Each structure stands twice: as structure tokens, then as C-alpha cells.
Amino acid sequence: MVKRGERGASKTTDPATGRTRATASAGTTRWAARPGAPSAPADRAKRRIVLAFALLTAALVALVLANLCIGTVPVPAGQIPRILSADPVRLGAAEKTLYQVIWSIRLPRLCAAIILGGALALSGFLLQTFFNNPIASPFVLGVSSGAKLAVALAMIVVVGSLGVMTSWMLVLAAFLGSLVVMGFVLLVARRVRSGAVLIVAGVMVGYICSAATDFLVTFASDQNIVNLRNWSMGSFSGIAWKDVRVMTLVVAVAAICSFLLAKPMGAFQLGEAYAQSMGVDVRRFRTQLVVLSSLLSATVTAFAGPISFVGIAVPHLVKRLLGTSKPLLVVPASFLGGSCFCLLCDLIARSAFAPTELSLSTVTALFGAPVVIWVLLERRGRRG
């Protein structure tokens, strides 16, 4: 079908494709997009999202392999499948050593880095959504420090009286401590509207809790409690398989619940009034965010101690990588990004100056602090 337009131009519709060809009087031809066809920007956005998840997955696989191979006892990559599937009774002395190194030390440690790193990044994203503040995180708001104080206190009381401390007791103590600090932060948030004041209040609470923890650890006499000094600096060392089972269960439940809240989070990002108009029970939704973020950060603190900057830096890096802030995409990507970030930092912490091991928070701060500075400068640039 040919239609004559203005100034001698004509339009021809191709019946096979539905595309419209416009021919000007000068003889130039331009094809218009088929009605209902996806636009080029939408296609680019989809490709970018697919590529981002592919990169995160590839980075995770590469870092898992690197964490298994690199260390004071190097393990050849080609031997890993055979060692993992072998019967230790039939292995020689050298291979049995590698078997013990992988199964008893490196695998539990890298599993903890994957699970807890993802949990910490996801907790940070939940808090940033809740407070609408780009630098909100469990570490900055003092939630991790409150959990650390509760765990230290519980270990002194429970170990001193019962002589044993289970993984579930650690998680429960850390969760209660994080909820207490979160409650205080929420009270401050109700009285002041300034995000800067809220952050400063959280930092001060964190300092108070850290000082109290250091006081308890300093005067602890039991050798197991004295080891809290290393734990309080942040580390994935000493993780056992029983700890991995507990953290997997807790984090899996919290992460699934967070993903199910992705659509309400998307509405909440556009404003509380808009979320209410979309049928979101805002009060219940905010309570769910507080409980989930506290549970995730408490689980991390219970097993690895407080770890800084992961909850701030990773969500921002993931949003920039995806090119969107939609929670439906950011929630799983934050978990993947946090796992990769902590695997990388833990690898550097234990191998950069081996056999001396750096504090994990030292390495995460080295990479995470520049990201926070970049976020603040970018935010100020938008306002200015």
C-alpha cells in the first residue's frame, strides 16, 4: 500500500514485516519501526542486564577456583576435581594433606564468604531503601557493632557457665543486639529528618558498642573468649561445616523473603504515598525491612564479626553495572556482587602477606571507602 504524504513524500507498508518505508521527494528512504516492536534503548538495557549477571557469575566461579588453589599450600587446579571426589583413605600422604586443606579449611571458608558476603550486601541495600540514604549500611548505622557486643556478652556469660556456645546461640544473640541498636536508630529517625544526623547517631552508637566490646574482650580470661579479639576485627577463618549449615539456612530464608518484597520496594522507592496508593501496607513493609536487614547483618556478625563497607559499596556498584535500581534485579545482583567482593577481599587478606593474615575489614575498607567517596561526590554533583 502506497500513501502520498506532504511535500511529495510517500509511505509504503511492507505486508510481510509490517514496517513502514518513508520516501522523500529527494529519493531517500527511511524505515520506521514496526508498531509494538521493542525500542533500541530497551534492547540495550536488556542486553546490559544479561551481560551484568553473566559477568557476576563468571567472576564468582573464577574467584571460587582462585580461593581453592591459592594459599600457603598451593593446590593445582587440575587436581581439585579428583581430590574433591576421592576417598581420603586411598589417597597418599601428599594428596591427603591437600584433601584436608580443601575440605576442612578452604571450602568452608569460601562458602562463608559467598553466603555472608551476599547477606551483607543485601542487608545494605535493604537499609538504603528503608532510610532512602545512599550510605546507610549495618556497619555505618552501628547495627553490626550492636550485634558484636551482644555476641561478646553472650559468649562470656554462656561459655563461662555452660562451657559451650552453639551456632544458633550466636545468631540469636547477634540478632537481639542488632534489633536493639536498630530500634535506637529508628527513634532517632523519627525525631530528626536529616540523613546526616541519622548517620552520625549510628556511627556514635557503633563507637559505644565497639568500646564496650573491647572492654569485655580485654578482661576476658578464658582462651576461647580471648579469641574474640581476632573475630571482632572481621574474618572468615575458623568457619566449620556446622556453621555453614546454620548460616545457609538463615540467609536463604531471609534472602528469599527479601526477593519477595522486591515489588513493594520498587513502589516504596517512588515515595511512601505512592506505595500506599499501590496497596502496600507501609507500616508492615517497613517492619519487614528492619527485621530482614537486622537478621542478615546479625548472621554475618555472629560468624565473621563486623565487616565494613560491603553493605555500602556493593549495592551502588551493582546498580551502576546493571544501569537500573529496580529491586527485582538489584536484590539478586547485590547478593552475587557481595559474594564476589568478599571472596576477593578474603583472598587478598590471607595471601597478600602470607603467612600473616590481614583483617578482612582492612581490605574491604581499602576497596569500599573510595566507592563511598565517589557516591557522595556524585550526589553532590547532581545537586550542584
Tell me which of 51-60, 136-145, 311-320, 337-346 is least confident: 136-145
Report for 48-57, 298-307, 356-365: range of highest mean pLDDT: 48-57
pLDDT above 70 coverage of the chain, percent: 83
Concatenated DSSP letters for 93-115?
HHHHHHHHIIIIIIHHHHHHHHH
Query: Which grid cell is 14?
Result: 511492507
3-state secondary structure 214-228: HHHHHCCCCHHHHCH
Q: Which residues of 129-139 are buried (b: 16+ CB within 10 A; e: fewer)?
A: bbbebbbbbbb
Ramachandran sector of residue 309 (left: φ over 0; alpha: ψ -120 to 50; beta: rest): left
Mean confidence (pLDDT) of the chain: 83
Distance CA 45, CA 9 (A): 34
pLDDT at residue 92 is higher than 60 = yes
Q: 355 preceded by cis ω (within 30°)?
A: yes
Domain 56-383 in CATH: superfamily?
Answer: ABC transporter involved in vitamin B12 uptake, BtuC (1.10.3470.10)
Distance CA 97, CA 249 (A): 30
pLDDT at residue 23 is higher than 60 = no
For residue 125, count other CB atoms closer than 10 A to its CB.
31
pLDDT single digits (tens) 310-365: 999 999 999 999 999 999 999 999 999 999 999 999 999 999 888 888 889 899 99
Count of H-run helices and E-run strands, the chain = 16, 4
What's the predicted TM-score (pTM) here?
Answer: 0.84
In the chain, ranges of CATH 1.10.3470.10 domains = 56-383
Mean pLDDT of the region 289-306: 91
pLDDT for 158: 73
pLDDT single digits (tens) 175-205: 999 989 988 888 887 777 666 787 888 888 8
pLDDT at residue 144 is higher than 90 = no
pLDDT for 295: 93
pLDDT single digits (tens) 230-242: 677 788 988 899 9
Tell me which of 1-15, 90-104, 159-173 is least confident: 1-15
Tell me which of 235-239, 246-250, 297-301, 375-379 is least confident: 375-379
- Residue entry with cell 520496594: 265
Residues 190, 192, 193, 199: what is their CA dihedral angle, to the nearest 10 degrees?
A: -100
- For residue 82, the SS3 value is helix
Higher model confidence: residue 36 or residue 134? 134
